[in-house]
Amino acid sequence: MKLSRLLVALACAAFAVPAAAQMRLDLNIPENRLRLLDGDSVLRTYRVSVGMPGHDTPDGTFNVERAEWNPSWRPPTTSEWARDKEFMPPGPNNPMGRVKLFFAPLYYIHGTPDSTNIGAPASHGCVRMRNRDVVELARLLHEHAQPTVAPAEIDGILRRSTTTRWSSFRAPVPLAIRYEPVVVEGDEVRVYPDFYNRSRLHSEGVIQALLAAGYDARSIDRAQVRALLQRAGTTRGPLSVKLADAFTGLRRTGLSADR
Protein backbone atom coordinates (compact mmCIF):
# COMPACT_ATOMS: atom_id res chain seq x y z
CA MET A 1 0.00 0.00 0.00
CA LYS A 2 2.79 2.40 0.95
CA LEU A 3 4.60 1.57 -2.30
CA SER A 4 1.52 2.37 -4.39
CA ARG A 5 1.10 5.72 -2.62
CA LEU A 6 4.75 6.52 -3.27
CA LEU A 7 4.35 5.73 -6.96
CA VAL A 8 1.28 8.00 -7.17
CA ALA A 9 3.20 10.81 -5.45
CA LEU A 10 6.11 10.46 -7.86
CA ALA A 11 3.78 10.50 -10.86
CA CYS A 12 2.11 13.69 -9.60
CA ALA A 13 5.49 15.31 -9.04
CA ALA A 14 6.51 14.51 -12.61
CA PHE A 15 3.59 16.55 -13.91
CA ALA A 16 3.81 19.34 -11.33
CA VAL A 17 4.14 22.90 -12.61
CA PRO A 18 7.78 23.99 -12.18
CA ALA A 19 8.59 26.80 -9.72
CA ALA A 20 9.44 29.18 -12.54
CA ALA A 21 5.93 28.97 -14.01
CA GLN A 22 4.87 31.97 -11.90
CA MET A 23 8.08 33.93 -12.34
CA ARG A 24 8.13 36.13 -15.43
CA LEU A 25 9.79 39.19 -16.91
CA ASP A 26 8.08 42.20 -18.43
CA LEU A 27 9.79 44.97 -20.42
CA ASN A 28 8.06 48.11 -21.68
CA ILE A 29 10.37 49.57 -24.33
CA PRO A 30 9.42 53.29 -24.06
CA GLU A 31 9.88 53.14 -20.26
CA ASN A 32 13.30 51.50 -20.43
CA ARG A 33 12.14 49.46 -17.46
CA LEU A 34 12.41 45.72 -16.91
CA ARG A 35 10.28 44.13 -14.19
CA LEU A 36 10.64 40.75 -12.55
CA LEU A 37 7.30 39.44 -11.36
CA ASP A 38 6.00 36.50 -9.37
CA GLY A 39 2.46 36.18 -10.66
CA ASP A 40 1.16 39.76 -10.48
CA SER A 41 3.55 40.86 -7.71
CA VAL A 42 6.51 42.96 -8.81
CA LEU A 43 9.70 41.64 -7.18
CA ARG A 44 12.21 43.98 -8.84
CA THR A 45 12.19 46.90 -11.26
CA TYR A 46 15.37 47.69 -13.20
CA ARG A 47 16.35 50.65 -15.34
CA VAL A 48 17.69 49.36 -18.65
CA SER A 49 18.76 50.57 -22.07
CA VAL A 50 16.84 49.26 -25.06
CA GLY A 51 17.81 49.57 -28.71
CA MET A 52 18.32 53.00 -30.19
CA PRO A 53 16.07 54.02 -33.10
CA GLY A 54 17.10 52.03 -36.14
CA HIS A 55 18.26 49.18 -33.91
CA ASP A 56 14.89 48.45 -32.36
CA THR A 57 14.56 45.94 -29.55
CA PRO A 58 12.01 43.37 -30.76
CA ASP A 59 8.65 43.22 -29.03
CA GLY A 60 6.63 40.07 -28.50
CA THR A 61 6.71 37.04 -26.20
CA PHE A 62 9.94 35.16 -25.56
CA ASN A 63 11.55 32.79 -23.07
CA VAL A 64 14.82 33.26 -21.20
CA GLU A 65 16.32 29.80 -21.60
CA ARG A 66 19.99 30.09 -20.66
CA ALA A 67 22.69 32.28 -19.21
CA GLU A 68 26.33 32.82 -20.06
CA TRP A 69 28.48 33.94 -17.13
CA ASN A 70 31.65 35.91 -17.93
CA PRO A 71 30.74 36.07 -21.63
CA SER A 72 33.03 36.85 -24.51
CA TRP A 73 31.88 39.15 -27.31
CA ARG A 74 32.09 38.33 -30.99
CA PRO A 75 31.07 41.22 -33.30
CA PRO A 76 28.09 40.26 -35.47
CA THR A 77 29.46 39.85 -38.97
CA THR A 78 26.25 41.01 -40.66
CA SER A 79 26.08 44.37 -38.83
CA GLU A 80 27.59 47.49 -40.36
CA TRP A 81 28.16 49.13 -36.98
CA ALA A 82 30.38 46.22 -35.88
CA ARG A 83 32.57 46.13 -39.01
CA ASP A 84 35.73 47.49 -37.32
CA LYS A 85 35.13 45.82 -33.96
CA GLU A 86 37.26 42.96 -32.67
CA PHE A 87 36.57 39.84 -30.64
CA MET A 88 36.80 40.47 -26.89
CA PRO A 89 37.42 37.66 -24.39
CA PRO A 90 35.75 37.61 -20.97
CA GLY A 91 36.92 40.35 -18.63
CA PRO A 92 36.02 43.61 -16.93
CA ASN A 93 35.81 45.63 -20.18
CA ASN A 94 33.74 43.15 -22.15
CA PRO A 95 30.66 44.91 -23.61
CA MET A 96 28.44 41.98 -22.53
CA GLY A 97 29.28 42.60 -18.88
CA ARG A 98 29.34 39.83 -16.29
CA VAL A 99 26.41 37.76 -17.58
CA LYS A 100 24.07 37.63 -20.54
CA LEU A 101 20.62 36.05 -20.68
CA PHE A 102 19.40 34.66 -24.01
CA PHE A 103 15.84 35.37 -25.16
CA ALA A 104 16.04 35.43 -28.98
CA PRO A 105 18.67 34.74 -31.66
CA LEU A 106 21.33 37.48 -31.32
CA TYR A 107 19.30 39.32 -28.65
CA TYR A 108 20.23 39.24 -24.98
CA ILE A 109 19.67 40.86 -21.63
CA HIS A 110 23.24 41.62 -20.58
CA GLY A 111 25.46 43.74 -18.41
CA THR A 112 27.77 46.55 -19.45
CA PRO A 113 30.96 48.12 -18.05
CA ASP A 114 29.60 51.56 -19.04
CA SER A 115 26.30 52.45 -17.39
CA THR A 116 26.25 56.06 -18.67
CA ASN A 117 23.23 55.57 -20.93
CA ILE A 118 21.21 53.24 -18.73
CA GLY A 119 17.61 54.47 -18.84
CA ALA A 120 17.81 55.67 -22.46
CA PRO A 121 17.59 53.86 -25.82
CA ALA A 122 21.28 53.32 -26.53
CA SER A 123 21.97 49.70 -27.51
CA HIS A 124 22.01 47.94 -30.88
CA GLY A 125 18.87 45.99 -29.98
CA CYS A 126 19.82 44.08 -26.85
CA VAL A 127 18.66 45.02 -23.36
CA ARG A 128 21.53 46.50 -21.35
CA MET A 129 21.66 46.54 -17.57
CA ARG A 130 24.12 47.67 -14.93
CA ASN A 131 26.40 44.78 -14.08
CA ARG A 132 25.22 44.64 -10.47
CA ASP A 133 21.58 44.58 -11.61
CA VAL A 134 21.96 41.85 -14.23
CA VAL A 135 23.97 39.71 -11.78
CA GLU A 136 21.17 40.10 -9.21
CA LEU A 137 18.55 39.25 -11.83
CA ALA A 138 20.48 36.20 -13.05
CA ARG A 139 20.89 34.98 -9.46
CA LEU A 140 17.13 35.26 -8.91
CA LEU A 141 16.40 33.34 -12.11
CA HIS A 142 18.86 30.64 -11.08
CA GLU A 143 16.89 30.18 -7.85
CA HIS A 144 13.68 29.40 -9.75
CA ALA A 145 14.44 28.25 -13.29
CA GLN A 146 15.94 24.82 -12.53
CA PRO A 147 19.39 25.74 -13.89
CA THR A 148 22.21 23.39 -14.79
CA VAL A 149 24.50 25.59 -12.67
CA ALA A 150 23.63 25.60 -8.99
CA PRO A 151 23.07 29.04 -7.40
CA ALA A 152 25.78 28.22 -4.86
CA GLU A 153 28.35 28.07 -7.67
CA ILE A 154 27.79 31.64 -8.88
CA ASP A 155 30.15 33.40 -6.47
CA GLY A 156 33.01 31.18 -7.61
CA ILE A 157 32.14 31.72 -11.27
CA LEU A 158 32.21 35.50 -10.81
CA ARG A 159 35.59 35.33 -9.08
CA ARG A 160 37.00 33.57 -12.13
CA SER A 161 36.07 36.52 -14.34
CA THR A 162 38.02 35.39 -17.41
CA THR A 163 36.43 31.92 -17.57
CA THR A 164 33.08 31.53 -19.32
CA ARG A 165 30.42 29.25 -17.83
CA TRP A 166 27.09 28.31 -19.41
CA SER A 167 23.87 27.57 -17.59
CA SER A 168 20.66 26.24 -19.18
CA PHE A 169 17.23 26.73 -17.62
CA ARG A 170 15.14 23.57 -17.53
CA ALA A 171 12.16 25.78 -16.63
CA PRO A 172 12.51 28.78 -18.99
CA VAL A 173 11.30 32.15 -17.70
CA PRO A 174 8.68 33.94 -19.87
CA LEU A 175 9.58 37.42 -21.11
CA ALA A 176 7.01 39.82 -22.53
CA ILE A 177 8.35 42.86 -24.39
CA ARG A 178 5.78 45.61 -25.03
CA TYR A 179 5.75 48.99 -26.75
CA GLU A 180 3.35 51.12 -24.73
CA PRO A 181 4.32 54.79 -24.35
CA VAL A 182 1.34 55.63 -22.10
CA VAL A 183 1.43 54.08 -18.62
CA VAL A 184 -1.11 54.51 -15.83
CA GLU A 185 0.27 53.36 -12.49
CA GLY A 186 -1.02 54.22 -9.06
CA ASP A 187 -2.26 57.81 -9.07
CA GLU A 188 -0.10 58.89 -12.01
CA VAL A 189 -0.16 58.83 -15.77
CA ARG A 190 3.20 58.82 -17.55
CA VAL A 191 3.70 59.58 -21.23
CA TYR A 192 7.01 58.46 -22.74
CA PRO A 193 8.51 59.56 -26.06
CA ASP A 194 7.55 57.41 -29.04
CA PHE A 195 11.22 57.09 -30.03
CA TYR A 196 10.57 54.29 -32.54
CA ASN A 197 8.02 56.52 -34.28
CA ARG A 198 5.31 53.88 -34.19
CA SER A 199 2.49 56.46 -33.96
CA ARG A 200 1.39 55.12 -30.58
CA LEU A 201 0.89 58.53 -28.93
CA HIS A 202 -2.75 59.25 -29.64
CA SER A 203 -6.00 59.71 -27.74
CA GLU A 204 -7.03 56.08 -28.07
CA GLY A 205 -3.76 54.96 -26.51
CA VAL A 206 -4.39 57.11 -23.44
CA ILE A 207 -7.98 55.92 -23.17
CA GLN A 208 -6.94 52.26 -23.44
CA ALA A 209 -4.33 52.76 -20.70
CA LEU A 210 -6.98 54.29 -18.43
CA LEU A 211 -9.43 51.48 -19.16
CA ALA A 212 -6.76 48.85 -18.45
CA ALA A 213 -6.12 50.55 -15.10
CA GLY A 214 -9.79 50.16 -14.19
CA TYR A 215 -11.27 53.56 -14.99
CA ASP A 216 -14.80 54.00 -16.29
CA ALA A 217 -14.93 54.91 -19.99
CA ARG A 218 -17.86 57.26 -19.33
CA SER A 219 -15.72 59.35 -16.97
CA ILE A 220 -12.91 59.95 -19.47
CA ASP A 221 -13.00 63.41 -21.03
CA ARG A 222 -11.50 63.32 -24.53
CA ALA A 223 -10.68 67.04 -24.44
CA GLN A 224 -8.58 66.42 -21.32
CA VAL A 225 -6.92 63.47 -23.06
CA ARG A 226 -5.96 65.72 -25.98
CA ALA A 227 -4.66 68.37 -23.58
CA LEU A 228 -2.45 65.75 -21.90
CA LEU A 229 -0.99 64.70 -25.26
CA GLN A 230 -0.38 68.31 -26.26
CA ARG A 231 1.50 68.87 -23.02
CA ALA A 232 3.54 65.70 -23.59
CA GLY A 233 4.42 66.91 -27.08
CA THR A 234 6.09 70.02 -25.67
CA THR A 235 7.91 68.19 -22.87
CA ARG A 236 11.49 67.02 -23.26
CA GLY A 237 11.58 63.40 -22.13
CA PRO A 238 8.82 61.60 -20.21
CA LEU A 239 5.86 63.49 -18.78
CA SER A 240 4.52 62.37 -15.39
CA VAL A 241 1.26 63.87 -14.13
CA LYS A 242 -1.08 63.09 -11.24
CA LEU A 243 -4.33 61.70 -12.58
CA ALA A 244 -6.26 64.16 -10.43
CA ASP A 245 -4.41 67.04 -12.11
CA ALA A 246 -4.87 65.74 -15.65
CA PHE A 247 -8.51 64.63 -15.42
CA THR A 248 -11.52 65.97 -13.55
CA GLY A 249 -14.38 63.57 -12.89
CA LEU A 250 -12.30 60.46 -13.56
CA ARG A 251 -13.64 57.50 -11.57
CA ARG A 252 -13.09 53.80 -11.21
CA THR A 253 -15.36 51.31 -12.90
CA GLY A 254 -18.30 50.47 -10.66
CA LEU A 255 -18.31 53.75 -8.74
CA SER A 256 -21.26 56.06 -9.19
CA ALA A 257 -20.69 59.58 -10.52
CA ASP A 258 -21.89 61.21 -7.30
CA ARG A 259 -19.84 59.08 -4.93
Give CA 216 to chain center in angstroms.
29
**Whole-angstrom Cα distance, residue 107 to residue 139?**
20
Helix pair 222-233, 203-212: axis angle to 10 deg = 110
Q: Which member of 12, 55, 124, 126 is catalytic?
A: 126
Q: Which member of 110, 124, 142, 144 is catalytic?
A: 110
Can 110 be counted among the known catalytic residues? yes
- Which residue in 58, 19, 13, 50 sits closest to 140, CA to CA? 19
CB-based contacts of 150, cutoff 8 Å, min separation 6: 142
Can 12 be counted among the known catalytic residues? no
- Which residue in 132, 133, 154, 134 sits closest to 143, CA to CA? 154
Which residues participate in catalysis according to the annotation? 110, 126
